[in-house]
Structure 1
Amino acid sequence: MKLKFFTVVLTVGLMSQSAAFGQDFVQSGTAPTLPQREGKEIYNAICSGCHMPDGVGAVGAAAYPPLAKSDFVGSKEATAQWVIKGYKAMPPLGDVMDDEQIAAVVNYVRTNLGNAYDDEELTAAEVADIRTW
């Protein structure tokens, strides 16, 4: 009986801990947005979990498209809209990132990971406009 009780308590404890870790991945503390401010930091905190640190994507429980050397991120406006509102299985992240953070991560992806889009960088003002689409 004691072993069964211990097993239940341990299982519930581990389950509650994993839920807290999942929440901390997206949002730390009580801040309304992610604490990271630089594109690479944001990418590493949010995007790399699915798209991988080097941007090559992954296939497993789901398919995560590559962002490295990708035409998929060719349009800064479309990429920003996908980050804000989600795209297919990708969740919307507009509620956990402000306009400057979205611009930073979109610009990072479009100029790193083997991408070299040389048009003008996305601005926070453009992101604010894209949110209204």
Structure 2
Amino acid sequence: MASLIAVLTLLSATAAIGQDSAAGRRTFSDGYRFVEMTGEELFANVCQGCHMPDAMGASGAGTYPSLAANKNLESGAYPIFLVVNGRRGMPAFGDMMTDGQVAAVVNYLRTHFGNDFQDAVTAKDVQDARR
């Protein structure tokens, strides 16, 4: 429970400094669900707090793997699983994101930061992975 509170605090702080690139406004999630809808917004307000703005990852209090030029993102099923279920130090975001949000952030990661995996995942793929 303490780790969940710590993660939510980190995410809240990350959202507070995140910028909505489309409108130039801050994006805040209200409550337990994220309100960001694009992959770029979700990455900026949820993922980059650990994986860094350039997606190169970090080491320190924990180890946060690089998502840049990451061959593990080749299969869309793998990042879907990680975002929904978490793994090791990464919390599960499945209850905090809709199927569409998970697909959006996974597709964003798979097509940015030196990744060029163009076979987009869908909300249906995420729905199937939750079963």
- TM bucket (normalised to shorter chain) is 0.7 to 0.9
Give the alignment of 1:1-133 within 5 angstroms. Answer: 22=10, 24-25=12-13, 28-30=29-31, 32-118=32-118, 120-132=119-131
Question: Could you tell me how far 1:36 is from its partner in structure 2?
Answer: 0.3
Do the aligned partners of residues 90 and 23 (structure 1) sit closer, same or farther apart at CA in structure 2, a change above 3 Å counting?
closer
- What RMSD, in angstroms, separates the aligned Cα atoms of the two structures? 2.2
After superposition, the C-alpha distances for 1:91-119 in whole angstroms (9 at most, x for unaligned) are 0000110000000000000000110012x
Q: What is the total number of aligned residue pairs between the two structures?
A: 113
Structure 2, unpaired ranges of 5+: 1-5, 16-27
Tell me how far apart the structure 2 counterparts of residues 71 and 77 of structure 1 sit (CA, whole Å): 13
Taking only the aligned residue pairs, the percentage that are identical comes to 38
Q: Report if aligned partners of 2:80, 2:126 keep a CA contact under 8 Å in 1.
A: yes
User: Distance between the aligned counterparts of 1:89 and 1:22, measured in 2?
Assistant: 13
- TM-score normalised according to structure 1 size: 0.77
Normalising by structure 2, we get a TM-score of: 0.78
State the one-letter code of the partner of 1:124: A
- For residues 125 and 20 of structure 1, what CA distance do their matches in structure 2 show? 27
Which residue identity does 2:30 align to in structure 1?
Answer: G
- Structure 1 residue runs of 5 or longer lacking an equivalent are 1-17
Distance 1:62 1:29, change over 3 A: same
Which ranges of 4 or more aligned residues in structure 1 deviate by more than 4 Å? 18-23
Select the structure of larger CA radius of gyration.
Answer: 1
* Conserved? CA contact 2:11–2:49, under 8 Å: no
